[in-house]
Amino acid sequence: MRVLTVILLCVTLLPASSAKERRLQVEYDNVAARASAMLELVDHVETDLRQQGLVLNTEIATSRNGLTAAMNSASDALERKDWSELRKSLDRARGWIDRLRRQL
């Protein structure tokens, strides 16, 4: 009887877990797209500044590096299926995106 209960519990929880994983994967895709757009923008600004003989503000460069690190961490967590770390990395990445948006 206990084995049947455990099996039923696992079958019941499996769809919820899979839905959570799918939701986090979609969230990762959305944040990755926003991060990619922001990083491309910063790279474009940096190129324009270089052509004028100027350099990118160090705070913006630091934020770009933070965003890159957060997305690398998120990507690694997604590959490992470490959902807790993925959520934390995505939160950090969103913070860096917001910070970059304010700086630009």
pLDDT tens string 31-81: 999 999 999 999 999 999 999 999 999 999 999 999 999 999 999 999 999
Strands in 1-104 per DSSP E:
none
pTM for the structure as a whole = 0.83
* The amino acid at 18: S
CA-CA distance, 51 to 48, in Å (whole number)?
A: 5
Asked whether the beta carbons of 66 and 96 are under 8 A apart, the reply is yes
Q: What is the pLDDT of residue 6?
A: 44
pLDDT band at 20 (very low <50, low <70, confident <90, very high): confident
Distance of CA 54 to the CA centre of its chain: 30
